[in-house]
Structure 1
């Protein structure tokens, strides 16, 4: 199992992301999309934070605790004009 490193959302701008999909299973991708939509609703309605675990281009695993403001077709928008590609997200809690 790989080590998950905690990261502050402001440090996401220093990371590089791959275009590859990190989840190979279709059901896992559907679950991720459901959890992202749920996180968006919680963020907009209640200002709740979620933990997002994601993989970078160099295959390191990071986790950030943040509020999800919007979910697009390719990116998740966070506060302070920060974005994470959806294809890099492993898990949303």
Structure 2
């Protein structure tokens, strides 16, 4: 497994994300979707942030702490206005 690097929002905006689906198991994909929707709800109710692990285009894994404001079928929008493809998200950790 690749080491995880941590990014701030300035670096994050310049990132290119993996275009392939990073999770192969359907159960993992359902859990990821559930955690993303929960992150949106917790942000609006309790202003809670989450840690999101994402795979970059060059197969480097990085983590960012952020607030999730919207989830669509294919993308995740962060409070800063940045958009991430859901297929590139490895995991979500609620804080």
> Counterpart of 1:89?
89
Alpha-carbon shift at residue 49 of structure 1 (Å): 0.4
Alpha-carbon displacement from aligned partner over 1:4-52 (angstroms, at most 9, x marks no partner) = 0011123222111232000011100000000000001011111100000
Moved over 6 A (4+): none
37-46 or 7-16, larger mean C-alpha shift: 7-16
Q: Give the superposed CA RMSD.
A: 0.9
Say how many residue pairs are matched.
93
Aligned ranges for residues 1-93 of structure 1 at < 5 Å?
A: 1-93=1-93
Distance 1:71 1:10 in 2: 22
Q: Unpaired runs of 5+ in structure 1?
A: none
Alpha-carbon displacement from aligned partner over 1:38-77 (angstroms, at most 9, x marks no partner) = 0010111111000000101100000000110011111111
Distance 2:60 2:40 in 1: 25
